[in-house]
Amino acid sequence: MSLKDRILQDVKDAMRSRDKPRLATLRLITAAIKQQEVDERIELDDTQVLALLDKMCKQRRESISQFEKAGRDDLIAQEVSELELIQTYLPEQLGDDEIAALIDEAMTATGAASIKDMGKVMGQLKPKLQGRADMGAVSAMIKAKLG
């Protein structure tokens, strides 16, 4: 069963169980998937759905930090619940040690020696880490090693 099919099945299950908060978040996900499919006139595969879910998680994290600065606890709770549900569809997150090992491997494979080579390293890592790590944090780790 593809990731998209699993999400659609969960929408039906949430409707049957009358779980409105879960249903609302699942509908946000399906709307984002359909929007991208219509815009690009393609059928999304699992990799593209993962990239979309990863983007949605990033948006939620940014919103949470903005709401914390503004002291909006009611909105923080909503974003946190959405983030937790979206993360259930992402693969298990990698630890810092595993990410560091993959970075070292990519740096060796690309021959990266300076910050100018960061694009090569990121290009090699992105398919391996998509949805499994925060790419902003990965970027910071690469900068620290190359800089």
SS3 category, 41:
coil
What is 3-87's CATH number? 1.10.1510.10
Q: Which CATH number fits domain 96-146: 1.10.10.410, 3.30.70.360, 3.40.50.720, 1.10.10.10?
A: 1.10.10.410
To the question of pTM greater than 0.85 for the whole model, the response is no
Mean pLDDT within 11-29: 96
Listed in sequence order, the DSSP H helices in 71-146 are 73-87, 96-110, 118-129, 135-146
What percent of the chain clears pLDDT 90, i.e. is strictly above it? 62
What is the model's pLDDT at position 67?
A: 95
| Residue range 107-146, pLDDT digits in tens | 999 888 888 889 999 999 988 887 788 888 899 999 988 8
Q: Is the dihedral of CA 34, 2, 29, 125 positive or negative?
A: negative
Domain limits of the chain? 3-87, 96-146
| Residue range 57-78, pLDDT digits in tens | 999 999 999 999 999 999 999 9
Decide: 29 and 86 in contact? Cβ < 8 Å: yes
Angle at 24 between CA 22 and CA 28, to 5 degrees: 115
Cα separation values, 136 from 15, 26, 140, Å: 35, 25, 6
